[in-house]
């Protein structure tokens, strides 16, 4: 079976479809926070929990007259558990009471579920039958209870064994393996106020609670813990400094030690109370509670969407790195080609959805699908060595590589790192030679390269008139297209608003190619029972098909299929110990082409020609012919002509633009220096190449990446050459 992982993106969706009402983006605009107006009232709404196709949360809004009972100690109605599911657009609907059989006339919630959602752990005042049980101080304390779902009814309600009638135990959060229960308690022996504890499960028994220690707990209150599937602990505290009131913090455990908690800062924290956060397994979406200004009630529930995820780049688990060798030879003589320039980049950010919407058949066959390929700071460049070889360092995913050499026709190749191929050979014809069809070989590879027209520019079939990287592949029966930007909340099958762009792109594709039929499949990781995972994945596939049907695609052309954990892509089965990143690799939604009249050629075309040289004669920076200009003295002071030789193993250069006109390059240089980059300069890339504005050079890619991000915040696009 042929697998082409064509990655859709929701970036366009964010720019065009997100309502700005109630959103509080961070200064770098990568986290969007929204007040969930459909569920918030003038009462307290707080502590959300993921639950089937929506969330549960706690509210002091009375369920009905029977449960209109005021707690005089806090002068508010008793707290009850409410449920809100999603409508067709993925937004939360008006809430309803959850599980009438669990309702009492005392406080209920917050709560947590095990990974199958068949066992619930929830907070409730100490209660037996219809009798409140008071502590020695005359106050009815909070306790943690559990119940089982049997025939969709919650039964067998029991208190956990570590409860103490003279102290509070509240806010449970269970680990993904169901063997650790975190909670807050003011039991004796703590560090002061409410502390965080964990109880470990042995067999069917929960053990004596263990205090998380002085790094986590302070003399003030620590409460509302949430343990993420990757082991990160989120909690709220008044004792670690912060912005005011309760702030949300994160900590990770290494061995037996917790790290020093880190404040999540704005927009998660404010000068008021912020607490009760939950985060999906992909760390892009979630909810939290806050009584910050501008809300609807006293405590409101907010949702958030993190464009780049919540993990800091240095904290993200590294993807599996693989090195493949690219051999470059002359097609006519078979001789190795030294100093051929190789530029390659990952295809994860391809905006296929936009390409389908913008598809122009001008100069292309109706069966062609053109995908604009933005070349960004992730592109890597290097030279073939004296053996005509260049190592390509690949993480998991699909890549496109372009090879150029003075006097030869440039060529491109499509590489999937999941293939077992470790070596590719690419033969470049001389300009005078006829351009043949795909001649590159990869041991065991299907190739997938496209030869550009003479001079290294894109072929005449490019309807956008762009230059630079062009590579094509083919969609045919059996092709599998992964939809990497569809994220589901835990135990949730509903389509969230931020997942719509991938499916919108699929809908546009199917509407433009009416003969195509698909199987839309959903896959889970191995955690949870086989039956639970199969049921959940089937619901997710059916929801995705229903979404496409509402977009005008005939249901007869689509088959929803939930595979559960049957088709794992790695070793992470029920018996393997895996990281959350490894489990995440198995959670996916895919489209398989089951029927089509003819194959569709997919062409990836560089949408940013200013960032890749059209036809550099070599990768050496030649001597620059600098002409005098009317630039400011501060700009001209460091513009002396120098020889600068490109070193394939040397420094990482941050490039802020490449221009055919020296005058345009100098204008950009002035702008860059005005931003404080006084060492910026201009280098010419090849004898027939472009003038590159070089911001600076660095010894590591991390340093260079930091500058690229810094420039991005200043509205300057840059990329790295190394």
Is there a single domain that holds both residue 624 and residue 686?
yes
- Among residues 475, 504, 531, the one where a domain terminates is 475
Is there a single domain that holds both residue 584 and residue 665?
no
Taking residue 169's Cβ as centre, other Cβ atoms within 10 Å add up to 26
Consecutive H or E run containing 13: helix 11-17
Q: Could you tell me which residues come within 8 angstroms of residue 75 by beta carbon, excluding any fewer than 6 positions away?
A: none
What whole-number distance in Å separates Cα of residue 198 and Cα of residue 205? 13
Would you list the DSSP string of 525-537? -S-S-HHHHHHHH
3-state secondary structure 255-295: CCEECCCEECCCCCCCCCCEEEEEECCCCCEEEEEECCCCC
Handedness of CA 607, 613, 614, 618 (dihedral sign): negative
b/e map 394-417, b = 16+ CB within 10 Å: bebbbbbbbbbbbebbbbbbbbbb
Would you give the DSSP letter of residue 710?
H
Integer CA distances (angstroms), 444 to 330, 393, 419, in order:
21, 19, 9
Is there a single domain that holds both residue 439 and residue 491?
no
Is there a single domain that holds both residue 484 and residue 470?
no
Residue 467 domain flag: yes
- Among residues 566, 598, 630, the one where a domain terminates is 598
Is there a single domain that holds both residue 548 and residue 687?
no
pLDDT, tens digit, 9 for 90 and up, residues 490-529: 667 777 666 677 788 889 889 988 999 999 999 988 887 7
Please give the average pLDDT of every successive group of 10 residues along the chain, which has 722 residues.
34 26 47 92 95 92 92 91 87 93 93 91 92 93 96 94 96 94 96 96 94 96 95 95 92 92 94 95 90 92 87 60 88 85 70 40 49 56 86 82 85 78 86 44 34 28 33 73 73 70 84 93 86 89 92 96 90 84 83 89 52 30 31 31 34 73 80 88 63 83 82 79 64
Is there a single domain that holds both residue 546 and residue 593?
yes
- Among residues 475, 499, 528, the one where a domain terminates is 475
Is there a single domain that holds both residue 544 and residue 625?
no
Residue 450 domain flag: yes
Is there a single domain that holds both residue 460 and residue 513?
no
Cβ atoms of 345 and 378 closer than 8 Å: yes
Domain harbouring 341, CATH code = 2.60.40.1120
Question: Which tokens in the block code for residue 232?
Answer: 């990160």
Q: H helices of 429-579, where?
A: 500-512, 530-550
Apex 80 CA angle, 56 and 178, nearest 5: 50
Is there a single domain that holds both residue 389 and residue 494?
no
What whole-number distance in Å separates Cα of residue 663 and Cα of residue 636? 13
Consecutive H or E run containing 662: helix 662-674
Question: Which tokens in the block code for residue 369?
Answer: 């699908």
Residue 49 domain flag: no
Residue 694 domain flag: yes
End-to-end CA distance of the chain: 36
3-state secondary structure 598-645: CCEEEEEEECCHHHCCCCCCCCCEECCCCCCCCCCHHHHCCCCCCCCC
- The total number of structural domains in the chain stands at 3
Question: Which tokens in the block code for residue 281?
Answer: 């397994």
Phi, psi torsion values for 511, nearest 5 degrees: -70, -30
Residue 691 domain flag: yes
What whole-number distance in Å separates Cα of residue 632 and Cα of residue 117? 67
Residue 635 domain flag: yes
Of 238, 213, 237, the C-alpha closest to 224 is 237
Beta bridge partners of 183: 197
Domain harbouring 681, CATH code = 3.30.70.1070
Expressed in percent and rounded to 5, the helix, strand and coil fractions of the chain are: 15, 35, 50
3-state secondary structure of 401: strand
Phi, psi torsion values for 578, nearest 5 degrees: -130, 155
Handedness of CA 241, 242, 247, 248 (dihedral sign): negative
Farthest CA pair distance, the chain = 96
Question: Which tokens in the block code for residue 393?
Answer: 């360092």
Residue 169 domain flag: no
Handedness of CA 548, 552, 555, 558 (dihedral sign): negative
Angle between helical axes of 500-512 and 530-550 (0-180°, round to 10)? 60
Is there a single domain that holds both residue 488 and residue 466?
no
Which pTM value belongs to this model? 0.63
Q: Which long-range contacts (CB under 8 A, 24 or more apart) does 418-424 make?
A: 418/3, 418/5, 419/444, 419/445, 420/444, 421/324, 421/445, 422/323, 422/324, 422/325, 423/324, 423/325, 423/326, 423/327, 424/324, 424/325, 424/326, 424/327
What whole-number distance in Å separates Cα of residue 71 and Cα of residue 61? 13
Is there a single domain that holds both residue 453 and residue 361?
yes
Instruction: Provide the domain limits for residue 422.
Output: 322-475
b/e map 274-287, b = 16+ CB within 10 Å: bbbbbbbbbbbbbb
Phi-psi region of 192 (alpha: psi -120 to 50; beta: other; left: phi over 0): left
Q: Could you tell me which residues come within 8 angstroms of residue 519 by beta carbon, excluding any fewer than 6 positions away?
A: 558, 559, 560, 561, 591, 592, 594
pLDDT of residue 368: 62
3-state secondary structure 689-708: CCEEEEEEEECCHHHHHHHH
267: preceding bond cis by omega (within 30 degrees): yes
Is there a single domain that holds both residue 510 and residue 541?
yes
Residue 294 domain flag: no
Of 352, 301, 393, the C-alpha closest to 484 is 352
What whole-number distance in Å separates Cα of residue 58 and Cα of residue 233? 21
Handedness of CA 284, 285, 286, 292 (dihedral sign): positive
Would you list the DSSP string of 152-191? TEEEEEEE-TT--TTS-EEEEEE-TTS-EEEEEE--TTSS
pLDDT, tens digit, 9 for 90 and up, residues 469-478: 444 567 788 8
What whole-number distance in Å separates Cα of residue 121 and Cα of residue 107? 14
Domain harbouring 530, CATH code = 3.30.1330.60
pLDDT of residue 497: 64
């Amino acid at each position: 079976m042929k697998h082409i992982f064509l990655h859709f993106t929701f970036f366009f969706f964010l720019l065009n479809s997100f309502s700005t009402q109630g959103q509080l983006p961070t200064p770098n605009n990568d986290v969007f926070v929204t007040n969930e107006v459909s569920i918030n009232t003038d009462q307290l709404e707080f502590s959300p929990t993921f639950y089937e196709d929506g969330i549960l949360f706690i509210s002091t809004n009375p369920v009905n007259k029977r449960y209109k009972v005021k707690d005089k100690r806090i002068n508010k109605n008793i707290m009850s558990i409410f449920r809100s599911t999603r409508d067709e657009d993925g937004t939360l609907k008006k809430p309803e009471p959850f599980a009438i059989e669990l309702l009492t006339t005392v406080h209920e919630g917050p709560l947590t579920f095990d990974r199958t959602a068949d066992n619930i752990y929830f907070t409730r005042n100490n209660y037996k039958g219809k009798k409140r049980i008071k502590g020695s101080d005359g106050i009815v304390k909070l306790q943690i209870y559990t119940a089982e779902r049997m025939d969709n009814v919650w039964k067998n309600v029991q208190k956990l064994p570590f409860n103490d009638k003279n102290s509070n135990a509240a806010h449970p959060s269970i680990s993904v393996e169901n063997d650790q229960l975190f909670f807050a308690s003011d039991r004796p022996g703590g560090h002061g106020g409410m502390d965080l504890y964990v109880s470990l499960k042995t067999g069917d028994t929960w053990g004596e609670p263990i205090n998380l220690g002085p790094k986590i707990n302070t003399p003030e209150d620590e409460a509302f813990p949430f343990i993420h599937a990757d082991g990160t602990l989120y909690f709220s505290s008044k004792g670690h400094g912060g912005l005011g009131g309760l702030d949300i913090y994160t900590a990770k455990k290494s061995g037996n030690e917790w790290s020093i908690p880190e404040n999540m800062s704005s927009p998660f924290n404010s000068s008021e109370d912020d607490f009760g956060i939950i985060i999906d397994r992909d760390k892009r979406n979630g909810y939290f509670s806050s009584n910050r200004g501008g809300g609807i009630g006293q405590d409101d529930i907010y949702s958030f969407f993190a464009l780049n995820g919540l993990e800091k780049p240095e904290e993200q688990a590294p993807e599996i790195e693989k090195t493949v060798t690219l051999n470059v030879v002359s097609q006519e003589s078979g001789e190795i080609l030294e100093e051929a320039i190789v530029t390659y980049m990952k295809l994860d950010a391809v905006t296929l959805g936009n390409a389908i919407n913008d598809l122009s058949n001008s100069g292309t066959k109706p069966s062609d699908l053109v995908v604009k390929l933005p070349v960004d700071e992730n592109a890597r460049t290097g030279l073939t060595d004296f053996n005509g070889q260049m190592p390509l360092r690949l993480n998991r995913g699909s890549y496109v590589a372009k090879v150029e050499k003075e006097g030869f026709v440039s060529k491109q190749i499509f590489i999937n790192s999941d293939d077992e191929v470790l070596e590719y050979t690419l033969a470049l014809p001389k300009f005078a030679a006829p351009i043949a069809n795909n001649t590159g070989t990869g041991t065991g590879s299907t190739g997938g390269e496209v030869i550009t027209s003479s001079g290294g520019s894109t072929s005449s079939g490019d309807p956008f008139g762009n230059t630079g990287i062009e590579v094509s592949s083919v969609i045919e029966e059996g092709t599998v297209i992964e939809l990497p930007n569809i994220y589901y909340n835990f135990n949730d099958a509903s389509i969230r608003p931020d997942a719509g762009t991938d499916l919108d792109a699929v809908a546009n594709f199917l509407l433009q190619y009416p003969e195509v039929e698909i199987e839309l499949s959903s896959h889970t990781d191995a955690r949870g029972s086989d039956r639970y995972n199969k049921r959940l994945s089937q619901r997710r596939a059916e929801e995705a098909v229903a979404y496409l049907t509402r977009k005008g695609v005939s249901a007869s052309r689509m088959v929803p299929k939930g595979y559960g954990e049957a088709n794992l892509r790695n070793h992470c089965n029920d018996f393997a110990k895996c990281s959350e990143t490894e489990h995440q690799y198995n959670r996916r939604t895919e489209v398989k082409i089951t029927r089509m009249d003819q194959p569709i050629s997919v062409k990836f075309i560089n949408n940013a020609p200013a960032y890749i040289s059209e036809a550099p004669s070599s990768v050496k920076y030649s001597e620059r012919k600098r002409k005098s200009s009317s630039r400011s003295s501060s700009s001209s002071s460091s513009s002396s002509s120098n020889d600068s030789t490109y070193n394939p193993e040397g420094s990482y250069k941050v490039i802020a633009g490449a221009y055919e006109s020296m005058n345009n390059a100098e204008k950009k240089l002035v702008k860059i220096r005005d931003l404080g980059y006084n060492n910026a300069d201009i280098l010419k890339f090849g004898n027939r190449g472009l003038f590159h504005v070089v911001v600076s050079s660095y010894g590591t890619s991390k340093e260079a990446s930091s500058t690229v991000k810094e420039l991005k915040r200043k509205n300057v696009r840059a990329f790295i050459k190394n």
